[in-house]
Amino acid sequence: MKMLVWNCQGAGNSVFKCTLHKLLKSHNPSIIVLMETKVQLSSMGLFFNNLGFIACTYVDSVGKCGGIWLLWNPFKVTVMALEANPQVIHAKIKCDHFPDWILSTVYTSPNPRNRDILWDNLESMADNMSEPWLAVGDFNDFASQNEKRSFVPSHSHARTRKFAARLNRCNLMDLGYSRPNLTWTNGR
């Protein structure tokens, strides 16, 4: 099973549509997770239907920020939403010849108080987890200074330690990534 996870930073423009179409054609995923969509899914329904992704669970953006869309091809996989809120969608994934597993799609608020709410939710999920679990998305945090390049040396090491401790409490591990070295840029 293939899954595409993308913090698209806006799904309402032609560049997004063209890029997504190319990604789908080259990778043929069963599941798509889009974060920080910044538009309402209803404005994109026909586009996704034409791509064969007719089933979805979503949390729309609030104004021009946030948004998580979990879309799947119902001919390849069955997805049952367990919970959806502005920072996470939890779903049970069923696919022929594989055991059921839990997918948590995350787009964490940059607000520290809201991040704490998300981690309370993830820790509760971890405490009750009996199936295999994959948490993917944008946690708006990092576990080491090597994951951030900044001209401001005042970044708190306590924040990175707190993120690593939260990952450990949930029994989550970083599966890594390949290229580019930094996955986010503000254009500078």
Q: What do you get for the CA distance between the two ends of the chain, in Å?
A: 36
The pair of three-digit structure tokens given for residue 173, joined into one six-digit string? 């591990």
Number of domains in the chain: 1
- Select the more confidently predicted residue: 8 or 41: 8
Query: What does the pLDDT average to over 158-164?
Result: 86
Identify whether 111 is part of a domain: yes
- 1 pLDDT more than 80: yes
Identify whether 66 is part of a domain: yes
- 14 pLDDT more than 80: yes
Q: What is the span of the domain harbouring residue 88?
A: 3-140
Identify whether 98 is part of a domain: yes
- What DSSP line would sit under 86-152, residue for residue? TTEEEEEEE-TTS--EEEEEEE--SSHHHHHHHHHHHHHHHHT--S-EEEEEE-S--SSGGG---S-
Identify whether 153 is part of a domain: no
78-88 confidence digits (pLDDT tens): 999 999 999 99
Going by pLDDT thresholds of 50, 70 and 90, the confidence category of residue 184 is: low
Identify whether 179 is part of a domain: no
- 166 pLDDT more than 70: yes
Confidence (pTM): 0.86
Nearest to 4 by CA among 51, 62, 39: 51
- 55 pLDDT more than 70: no
Going by pLDDT thresholds of 50, 70 and 90, the confidence category of residue 26 is: very high
Residues in contact with 45: Cβ distance below 8 Å, sequence separation at least 6, in sequence order: none
Q: What is the CATH number of the domain that holds 80?
A: 3.60.10.10
Average pLDDT of the residues of the chain: 84
Q: Which helix (H) or strand (E) holds 80?
A: strand 78-85
Identify whether 94 is part of a domain: yes
Identify whether 89 is part of a domain: yes
- 10 pLDDT more than 70: yes
Identify whether 11 is part of a domain: yes
